[in-house]
Amino acid sequence: MQIRPLRPGIEIISSIHWERRLFDALIPLPEGTSYNAYLVKGSAGTALLDSTDPVFAKDFLEVIKDVDTIDYIVSHHTEQDHSGTLPDLLQRYPNAKLLCSKKAEELLLSHLPIAAERIRVVADGETVSLGDKTLQFLYTPWVHWPETMSTYVPEQKCLFSCDLFGSHLATSDLFVTDPALVLEGAKRYYAEIMMPFRPQVGKNLAKLAEYPCNLICPSHGPVYNDPALIVDAYQKWISPRLKNEVVLPYISMHGSTLLMVNRLTDALVRLGVTVHPFDLSVTDIGKLATTLVDAATIIVGTPTVHVGPHPAVIYAATLAGMLRPKLKYAGVMASYGWSSKAIEQVAGAIANLKPEIVGTVQCKGLPTAATMAEIDALAAAVHKAHAADPNVLA
Ligand code: FEO
Protein backbone atom coordinates (compact mmCIF):
# COMPACT_ATOMS: atom_id res chain seq x y z
CA MET A 1 0.00 0.00 0.00
CA GLN A 2 1.25 3.49 -0.81
CA ILE A 3 0.08 7.05 -1.43
CA ARG A 4 0.12 7.76 -5.14
CA PRO A 5 -0.64 11.02 -6.99
CA LEU A 6 -3.60 11.29 -9.35
CA ARG A 7 -3.64 15.02 -10.05
CA PRO A 8 -1.79 17.91 -8.39
CA GLY A 9 -2.95 17.85 -4.76
CA ILE A 10 -5.10 14.75 -5.23
CA GLU A 11 -3.73 11.41 -4.11
CA ILE A 12 -5.09 7.89 -3.79
CA ILE A 13 -4.49 5.31 -1.09
CA SER A 14 -5.75 2.03 -2.47
CA SER A 15 -6.03 -1.07 -0.31
CA ILE A 16 -5.82 -3.76 -2.95
CA HIS A 17 -7.48 -6.95 -1.74
CA TRP A 18 -5.93 -9.32 -4.26
CA GLU A 19 -7.01 -12.53 -2.58
CA ARG A 20 -10.57 -11.66 -1.54
CA ARG A 21 -12.92 -14.07 -3.24
CA LEU A 22 -16.32 -13.27 -1.73
CA PHE A 23 -18.10 -9.97 -1.10
CA ASP A 24 -20.83 -9.59 1.51
CA ALA A 25 -20.44 -13.37 1.98
CA LEU A 26 -22.56 -13.51 -1.17
CA ILE A 27 -20.99 -12.53 -4.50
CA PRO A 28 -17.79 -14.23 -5.76
CA LEU A 29 -14.90 -11.96 -6.68
CA PRO A 30 -12.89 -13.70 -9.42
CA GLU A 31 -10.68 -10.61 -9.80
CA GLY A 32 -10.51 -9.54 -6.13
CA THR A 33 -11.42 -5.97 -5.19
CA SER A 34 -10.00 -2.81 -3.64
CA TYR A 35 -10.99 -0.05 -1.20
CA ASN A 36 -9.90 3.42 -2.23
CA ALA A 37 -9.36 6.43 0.00
CA TYR A 38 -8.25 9.82 -1.33
CA LEU A 39 -6.28 12.75 0.00
CA VAL A 40 -7.20 16.23 -1.24
CA LYS A 41 -4.53 18.75 -0.34
CA GLY A 42 -5.36 22.43 -0.71
CA SER A 43 -3.34 25.54 0.07
CA ALA A 44 -5.19 25.93 3.39
CA GLY A 45 -6.19 22.44 4.43
CA THR A 46 -6.13 18.71 3.81
CA ALA A 47 -9.03 16.29 3.61
CA LEU A 48 -9.07 12.51 3.66
CA LEU A 49 -12.01 11.03 1.80
CA ASP A 50 -13.09 7.68 3.30
CA SER A 51 -10.78 5.10 4.86
CA THR A 52 -10.49 1.36 4.32
CA ASP A 53 -11.72 -2.03 5.40
CA PRO A 54 -10.60 -2.86 8.96
CA VAL A 55 -8.40 -5.71 7.66
CA PHE A 56 -6.14 -3.02 6.18
CA ALA A 57 -6.24 -0.63 9.15
CA LYS A 58 -2.67 -1.27 10.30
CA ASP A 59 -1.21 -0.84 6.80
CA PHE A 60 -3.31 2.28 6.24
CA LEU A 61 -2.14 3.97 9.43
CA GLU A 62 1.43 3.10 8.53
CA VAL A 63 1.19 4.53 5.02
CA ILE A 64 -0.21 7.88 6.17
CA LYS A 65 2.24 8.28 9.04
CA ASP A 66 4.00 11.16 7.25
CA VAL A 67 0.74 13.08 6.70
CA ASP A 68 1.05 15.42 9.67
CA THR A 69 -2.26 17.20 9.48
CA ILE A 70 -5.69 16.18 8.31
CA ASP A 71 -8.33 18.85 8.83
CA TYR A 72 -11.31 16.93 7.54
CA ILE A 73 -12.19 13.30 7.15
CA VAL A 74 -15.13 12.79 4.82
CA SER A 75 -17.31 9.71 5.20
CA HIS A 76 -19.29 9.14 2.01
CA HIS A 77 -20.79 5.85 3.16
CA THR A 78 -21.07 4.04 6.48
CA GLU A 79 -20.50 0.47 5.27
CA GLN A 80 -17.38 -0.78 7.00
CA ASP A 81 -15.25 -1.41 3.90
CA HIS A 82 -14.94 2.40 3.78
CA SER A 83 -15.68 3.52 7.31
CA GLY A 84 -14.12 0.69 9.33
CA THR A 85 -10.86 2.49 9.97
CA LEU A 86 -12.42 5.87 10.85
CA PRO A 87 -12.15 5.36 14.65
CA ASP A 88 -8.38 4.75 14.33
CA LEU A 89 -7.99 7.79 12.08
CA LEU A 90 -9.95 10.05 14.40
CA GLN A 91 -7.66 8.96 17.20
CA ARG A 92 -4.57 9.60 15.07
CA TYR A 93 -5.83 13.03 13.98
CA PRO A 94 -7.55 14.47 17.09
CA ASN A 95 -8.26 17.83 15.45
CA ALA A 96 -9.89 16.42 12.34
CA LYS A 97 -13.62 16.93 11.85
CA LEU A 98 -15.60 14.06 10.43
CA LEU A 99 -17.88 15.36 7.66
CA CYS A 100 -20.89 13.36 6.54
CA SER A 101 -24.51 13.59 5.45
CA LYS A 102 -27.32 14.02 7.98
CA LYS A 103 -28.41 10.40 7.65
CA ALA A 104 -24.82 9.19 7.91
CA GLU A 105 -24.43 10.83 11.33
CA GLU A 106 -26.98 8.44 12.81
CA LEU A 107 -25.54 5.44 10.96
CA LEU A 108 -21.93 6.17 11.89
CA LEU A 109 -22.83 6.49 15.55
CA SER A 110 -24.69 3.18 15.50
CA HIS A 111 -22.04 1.26 13.55
CA LEU A 112 -18.75 2.54 14.94
CA PRO A 113 -17.25 3.74 18.22
CA ILE A 114 -17.15 7.42 17.24
CA ALA A 115 -17.79 10.37 19.55
CA ALA A 116 -20.73 12.47 18.35
CA GLU A 117 -18.79 15.72 18.87
CA ARG A 118 -16.27 14.70 16.22
CA ILE A 119 -19.00 14.73 13.54
CA ARG A 120 -20.06 17.76 11.54
CA VAL A 121 -23.03 17.23 9.26
CA VAL A 122 -22.74 18.87 5.85
CA ALA A 123 -25.77 19.82 3.79
CA ASP A 124 -26.46 18.80 0.22
CA GLY A 125 -24.50 21.23 -1.98
CA GLU A 126 -22.50 22.69 0.91
CA THR A 127 -18.89 23.60 0.23
CA VAL A 128 -15.80 23.50 2.41
CA SER A 129 -12.76 25.44 1.26
CA LEU A 130 -9.28 23.97 1.44
CA GLY A 131 -7.82 27.20 0.01
CA ASP A 132 -7.14 26.61 -3.66
CA LYS A 133 -9.41 23.58 -3.67
CA THR A 134 -13.05 23.19 -2.72
CA LEU A 135 -14.97 20.21 -1.47
CA GLN A 136 -18.58 20.32 -2.60
CA PHE A 137 -20.78 17.67 -1.02
CA LEU A 138 -23.52 16.17 -3.12
CA TYR A 139 -26.10 13.94 -1.51
CA THR A 140 -26.47 10.84 -3.65
CA PRO A 141 -28.87 8.73 -1.56
CA TRP A 142 -29.51 5.04 -2.13
CA VAL A 143 -26.35 4.22 -4.03
CA HIS A 144 -26.65 2.02 -2.20
CA TRP A 145 -27.52 3.06 1.38
CA PRO A 146 -29.78 5.96 2.37
CA GLU A 147 -26.88 8.11 3.59
CA THR A 148 -24.56 7.86 0.56
CA MET A 149 -22.90 11.07 -0.55
CA SER A 150 -20.33 12.13 -3.19
CA THR A 151 -17.76 14.92 -3.18
CA TYR A 152 -16.96 17.15 -6.13
CA VAL A 153 -13.77 19.20 -6.46
CA PRO A 154 -14.70 21.84 -9.06
CA GLU A 155 -11.17 23.20 -9.56
CA GLN A 156 -10.13 19.88 -11.05
CA LYS A 157 -13.52 18.65 -12.20
CA CYS A 158 -13.05 15.59 -10.09
CA LEU A 159 -15.86 13.49 -8.59
CA PHE A 160 -15.40 11.15 -5.64
CA SER A 161 -18.38 8.84 -5.97
CA CYS A 162 -17.68 6.12 -3.38
CA ASP A 163 -19.54 2.89 -4.23
CA LEU A 164 -21.32 4.45 -7.21
CA PHE A 165 -19.33 3.53 -10.36
CA GLY A 166 -17.13 1.13 -8.37
CA SER A 167 -15.74 -2.09 -9.80
CA HIS A 168 -14.59 -5.31 -8.22
CA LEU A 169 -11.08 -5.46 -9.61
CA ALA A 170 -7.76 -5.81 -7.83
CA THR A 171 -5.16 -4.07 -10.00
CA SER A 172 -1.99 -2.12 -9.44
CA ASP A 173 -3.04 0.25 -12.24
CA LEU A 174 -4.27 3.62 -11.00
CA PHE A 175 -6.42 4.30 -14.04
CA VAL A 176 -8.53 2.13 -16.31
CA THR A 177 -6.19 0.32 -18.69
CA ASP A 178 -8.44 -2.56 -19.72
CA PRO A 179 -11.93 -1.10 -20.20
CA ALA A 180 -13.61 -4.46 -20.86
CA LEU A 181 -12.21 -5.98 -17.67
CA VAL A 182 -13.16 -2.94 -15.59
CA LEU A 183 -16.69 -2.85 -16.99
CA GLU A 184 -17.10 -6.54 -16.20
CA GLY A 185 -16.08 -5.88 -12.59
CA ALA A 186 -18.28 -2.77 -12.47
CA LYS A 187 -21.28 -4.64 -13.86
CA ARG A 188 -20.83 -7.42 -11.29
CA TYR A 189 -20.73 -4.72 -8.62
CA TYR A 190 -23.75 -2.88 -10.04
CA ALA A 191 -25.75 -6.14 -10.21
CA GLU A 192 -25.34 -6.91 -6.54
CA ILE A 193 -25.28 -3.46 -4.98
CA MET A 194 -26.97 -0.93 -7.23
CA MET A 195 -29.51 -2.79 -9.36
CA PRO A 196 -32.16 -2.98 -6.63
CA PHE A 197 -32.07 0.85 -6.56
CA ARG A 198 -32.24 1.45 -10.31
CA PRO A 199 -34.67 4.41 -10.15
CA GLN A 200 -32.55 6.13 -7.48
CA VAL A 201 -29.38 5.48 -9.49
CA GLY A 202 -31.05 7.23 -12.43
CA LYS A 203 -31.93 10.27 -10.29
CA ASN A 204 -28.36 10.50 -9.04
CA LEU A 205 -26.91 10.20 -12.55
CA ALA A 206 -29.14 13.09 -13.64
CA LYS A 207 -28.00 15.15 -10.65
CA LEU A 208 -24.30 14.44 -11.19
CA ALA A 209 -24.57 15.26 -14.89
CA GLU A 210 -24.77 18.91 -13.78
CA TYR A 211 -21.17 18.71 -12.58
CA PRO A 212 -18.65 18.54 -15.45
CA CYS A 213 -16.14 15.91 -14.69
CA ASN A 214 -12.89 14.66 -16.14
CA LEU A 215 -11.99 12.25 -13.37
CA ILE A 216 -14.24 9.84 -11.45
CA CYS A 217 -12.64 8.38 -8.34
CA PRO A 218 -14.71 5.46 -6.99
CA SER A 219 -14.13 3.58 -3.77
CA HIS A 220 -13.58 0.25 -5.53
CA GLY A 221 -11.43 -0.44 -8.59
CA PRO A 222 -9.38 1.87 -10.81
CA VAL A 223 -9.99 5.57 -11.39
CA TYR A 224 -11.82 6.64 -14.56
CA ASN A 225 -9.92 9.28 -16.52
CA ASP A 226 -12.54 8.82 -19.21
CA PRO A 227 -15.72 9.20 -17.12
CA ALA A 228 -17.96 8.53 -20.11
CA LEU A 229 -16.88 4.89 -20.03
CA ILE A 230 -18.64 4.16 -16.77
CA VAL A 231 -21.38 6.80 -16.96
CA ASP A 232 -22.54 5.49 -20.37
CA ALA A 233 -22.44 1.91 -19.07
CA TYR A 234 -24.59 2.88 -16.08
CA GLN A 235 -27.03 4.69 -18.38
CA LYS A 236 -27.41 1.49 -20.39
CA TRP A 237 -27.81 -0.70 -17.31
CA ILE A 238 -30.56 1.48 -15.82
CA SER A 239 -32.35 2.18 -19.11
CA PRO A 240 -35.61 0.35 -19.85
CA ARG A 241 -33.97 -1.30 -22.84
CA LEU A 242 -33.68 -5.09 -22.56
CA LYS A 243 -31.59 -7.59 -24.45
CA ASN A 244 -33.11 -10.37 -26.48
CA GLU A 245 -31.75 -12.81 -23.91
CA VAL A 246 -32.95 -15.54 -21.58
CA VAL A 247 -31.24 -16.30 -18.28
CA LEU A 248 -31.74 -20.00 -17.54
CA PRO A 249 -30.68 -21.05 -14.04
CA TYR A 250 -31.31 -24.71 -13.33
CA ILE A 251 -30.46 -27.81 -11.34
CA SER A 252 -30.73 -31.33 -12.60
CA MET A 253 -30.52 -34.32 -10.24
CA HIS A 254 -31.11 -37.32 -12.49
CA GLY A 255 -31.07 -35.75 -15.96
CA SER A 256 -34.73 -34.96 -16.68
CA THR A 257 -34.44 -31.24 -16.04
CA LEU A 258 -31.22 -31.11 -18.06
CA LEU A 259 -33.03 -32.67 -21.04
CA MET A 260 -35.65 -29.93 -20.74
CA VAL A 261 -33.01 -27.21 -20.43
CA ASN A 262 -31.14 -28.49 -23.48
CA ARG A 263 -34.33 -28.62 -25.52
CA LEU A 264 -35.28 -25.08 -24.54
CA THR A 265 -31.78 -23.82 -25.25
CA ASP A 266 -31.79 -25.34 -28.75
CA ALA A 267 -35.27 -24.04 -29.49
CA LEU A 268 -34.41 -20.49 -28.36
CA VAL A 269 -31.17 -20.46 -30.32
CA ARG A 270 -33.06 -21.54 -33.45
CA LEU A 271 -35.39 -18.56 -32.91
CA GLY A 272 -32.48 -16.15 -32.56
CA VAL A 273 -32.79 -15.64 -28.79
CA THR A 274 -29.54 -15.62 -26.81
CA VAL A 275 -29.55 -18.06 -23.89
CA HIS A 276 -27.43 -18.11 -20.74
CA PRO A 277 -27.85 -21.49 -19.02
CA PHE A 278 -26.43 -21.65 -15.48
CA ASP A 279 -26.03 -25.03 -13.80
CA LEU A 280 -26.51 -23.85 -10.23
CA SER A 281 -24.47 -26.73 -8.83
CA VAL A 282 -21.30 -25.18 -10.29
CA THR A 283 -22.20 -21.63 -11.36
CA ASP A 284 -20.69 -18.34 -10.21
CA ILE A 285 -23.74 -16.62 -8.73
CA GLY A 286 -22.12 -13.24 -9.50
CA LYS A 287 -22.04 -14.09 -13.20
CA LEU A 288 -25.71 -15.03 -12.99
CA ALA A 289 -26.48 -11.68 -11.30
CA THR A 290 -24.47 -9.82 -13.95
CA THR A 291 -26.39 -11.51 -16.76
CA LEU A 292 -29.67 -10.50 -15.14
CA VAL A 293 -28.77 -6.81 -15.60
CA ASP A 294 -29.90 -6.72 -19.25
CA ALA A 295 -31.88 -9.89 -19.99
CA ALA A 296 -35.57 -9.66 -20.92
CA THR A 297 -36.52 -13.07 -19.54
CA ILE A 298 -35.72 -15.58 -16.83
CA ILE A 299 -36.70 -19.24 -17.19
CA VAL A 300 -35.99 -21.41 -14.17
CA GLY A 301 -35.49 -25.15 -14.43
CA THR A 302 -35.82 -27.37 -11.35
CA PRO A 303 -36.27 -30.93 -10.24
CA THR A 304 -38.56 -31.64 -7.32
CA VAL A 305 -37.21 -32.37 -3.85
CA HIS A 306 -39.83 -33.33 -1.29
CA VAL A 307 -42.62 -31.76 -3.38
CA GLY A 308 -40.85 -28.38 -3.74
CA PRO A 309 -38.08 -26.99 -5.94
CA HIS A 310 -34.45 -27.88 -5.34
CA PRO A 311 -33.10 -25.58 -2.58
CA ALA A 312 -30.37 -24.22 -4.89
CA VAL A 313 -33.07 -23.14 -7.32
CA ILE A 314 -35.05 -21.42 -4.58
CA TYR A 315 -31.84 -19.64 -3.56
CA ALA A 316 -31.19 -18.40 -7.09
CA ALA A 317 -34.81 -17.37 -7.61
CA THR A 318 -34.86 -15.55 -4.27
CA LEU A 319 -31.61 -13.78 -5.16
CA ALA A 320 -33.06 -12.74 -8.52
CA GLY A 321 -36.13 -11.37 -6.76
CA MET A 322 -33.95 -9.49 -4.27
CA LEU A 323 -31.71 -7.91 -6.94
CA ARG A 324 -34.76 -6.60 -8.81
CA PRO A 325 -33.49 -6.84 -12.41
CA LYS A 326 -35.56 -5.08 -15.04
CA LEU A 327 -36.59 -8.32 -16.81
CA LYS A 328 -40.23 -8.53 -17.89
CA TYR A 329 -40.88 -12.16 -18.72
CA ALA A 330 -40.50 -15.44 -16.85
CA GLY A 331 -41.19 -19.14 -17.10
CA VAL A 332 -40.61 -22.28 -15.05
CA MET A 333 -39.80 -25.84 -16.07
CA ALA A 334 -40.01 -28.58 -13.46
CA SER A 335 -39.58 -32.31 -13.37
CA TYR A 336 -40.82 -34.54 -10.57
CA GLY A 337 -41.12 -38.14 -9.42
CA TRP A 338 -44.54 -38.42 -7.85
CA SER A 339 -45.89 -34.96 -6.95
CA SER A 340 -44.70 -31.35 -7.21
CA LYS A 341 -45.48 -27.82 -6.16
CA ALA A 342 -42.19 -26.61 -7.65
CA ILE A 343 -43.65 -24.33 -10.31
CA GLU A 344 -45.84 -22.41 -7.89
CA GLN A 345 -43.02 -22.02 -5.38
CA VAL A 346 -40.46 -20.78 -7.95
CA ALA A 347 -43.01 -18.36 -9.38
CA GLY A 348 -43.66 -17.15 -5.85
CA ALA A 349 -39.96 -16.48 -5.24
CA ILE A 350 -39.82 -14.01 -8.16
CA ALA A 351 -43.35 -12.65 -7.82
CA ASN A 352 -42.07 -9.28 -6.63
CA LEU A 353 -40.56 -8.73 -10.10
CA LYS A 354 -44.11 -8.87 -11.46
CA PRO A 355 -43.01 -10.72 -14.58
CA GLU A 356 -45.39 -11.82 -17.28
CA ILE A 357 -45.34 -15.62 -17.05
CA VAL A 358 -44.91 -16.69 -20.67
CA GLY A 359 -45.26 -20.37 -19.92
CA THR A 360 -44.62 -23.29 -17.59
CA VAL A 361 -43.76 -26.89 -18.38
CA GLN A 362 -43.88 -29.80 -15.97
CA CYS A 363 -42.99 -33.44 -16.57
CA LYS A 364 -43.23 -36.65 -14.53
CA GLY A 365 -40.03 -38.64 -14.84
CA LEU A 366 -38.41 -38.40 -18.26
CA PRO A 367 -39.63 -35.73 -20.65
CA THR A 368 -41.85 -37.18 -23.36
CA ALA A 369 -42.43 -36.02 -26.93
CA ALA A 370 -45.38 -34.06 -25.58
CA THR A 371 -43.11 -32.38 -23.00
CA MET A 372 -40.66 -31.41 -25.74
CA ALA A 373 -43.50 -29.92 -27.76
CA GLU A 374 -44.51 -27.86 -24.72
CA ILE A 375 -40.93 -26.64 -24.38
CA ASP A 376 -40.85 -25.65 -28.06
CA ALA A 377 -44.07 -23.72 -27.42
CA LEU A 378 -42.46 -22.01 -24.42
CA ALA A 379 -39.52 -20.94 -26.61
CA ALA A 380 -41.94 -19.63 -29.23
CA ALA A 381 -43.81 -17.67 -26.56
CA VAL A 382 -40.56 -16.07 -25.36
CA HIS A 383 -39.61 -15.16 -28.92
CA LYS A 384 -43.05 -13.69 -29.57
CA ALA A 385 -43.00 -11.64 -26.37
CA HIS A 386 -39.55 -10.26 -27.14
CA ALA A 387 -40.43 -9.48 -30.76
CA ALA A 388 -43.56 -7.58 -29.73
CA ASP A 389 -41.85 -5.55 -27.00
CA PRO A 390 -40.42 -2.24 -28.23
CA ASN A 391 -37.99 -2.20 -25.30
CA VAL A 392 -36.33 -5.47 -26.31
CA LEU A 393 -33.37 -4.84 -28.60
CA ALA A 394 -33.54 -6.85 -31.83
FE1 FEO B 1 -18.16 -0.54 -0.74
FE2 FEO B 1 -21.37 -0.29 0.29
O3 FEO B 1 -19.55 -0.54 0.51
Judge if the beta carbon of residue 76 lies within 6 A of ligand 1. no
Which residue's CA is minimally distant from atom 2 of ligand 1? 79
* CA 271 to ligand 1 centroid distance, Å: 41
Q: What is the mean pLDDT of the chain?
A: 96
pLDDT tens digits, 299-353: 999 999 999 999 999 999 999 999 999 999 999 999 999 999 999 999 999 999 9
Sequential DSSP letters for 296-312: EEEEEEE-EETTEE-HH
Q: Which residue pairs, CB below 8 angstroms and at least 24 apart, start in 368-377?
A: 371/260, 372/263, 375/260, 375/263, 375/264, 375/267, 375/333, 376/263, 376/267
Which band of pLDDT confidence, cut at 50, 70 and 90, is reported for residue 279? very high
Q: How many CB atoms lie within 10 A of CB 276?
A: 18
Q: What SS3 class is residue 144?
A: coil
* CA angle, residues 38, 222, 79, in degrees to nearest 5: 60
The mean per-residue pLDDT over the stretch 98-118 comes to 97
pLDDT for 323 equals 96
CATH architecture of 3-238: 4-Layer Sandwich (3.60)
Judge if the beta carbon of residue 192 lies within 6 A of ligand 1. no
Pairing mode, strands 134-139 and 127-129: antiparallel
Answer whether 3-238 and 246-383 agree in fold. Answer: no
Say whether pLDDT at 394 is over 80.
Answer: no
What ligand 1 atom has the least distance to the C-alpha of 148?
2
Which residue's CA is minimally distant from atom 1 of ligand 1? 163
DSSP state of 212: -
pLDDT for 271 equals 98
Q: Which CATH superfamily is domain 246-383 in?
A: Flavodoxin domain (3.40.50.360)
- Contact 135/40 with Cβ under 8 angstroms? yes
* CA 46 to ligand 1 centroid distance, Å: 24
Rounded-to-integer distance, Cα 208 and Cα 212, Å: 8
* CA 85 to ligand 1 centroid distance, Å: 14
- Contact 15/52 with Cβ under 8 angstroms? yes
Judge if the beta carbon of residue 219 lies within 6 A of ligand 1. yes
Helices (H), 209-255: 228-238
Judge if the beta carbon of residue 163 lies within 6 A of ligand 1. yes
Which residue's CA is minimally distant from atom 3 of ligand 1? 79
Which band of pLDDT confidence, cut at 50, 70 and 90, is reported for residue 172? very high
For residue 91, give the amino acid letter.
Q
Which band of pLDDT confidence, cut at 50, 70 and 90, is reported for residue 167? very high
Tell me how far apart the 2 most distant CA atoms of the chain are, in Å: 78
- pLDDT above 90: percentage of residues in the chain: 97
Judge if the beta carbon of residue 81 lies within 6 A of ligand 1. yes
Q: How many CB atoms lie within 10 A of CB 117?
A: 8
Domain boundaries, the chain: 3-238, 246-383
- Contact 159/149 with Cβ under 8 angstroms? no
pLDDT for 25 equals 83
* CA 216 to ligand 1 centroid distance, Å: 16
The mean per-residue pLDDT over the stretch 102-107 comes to 97
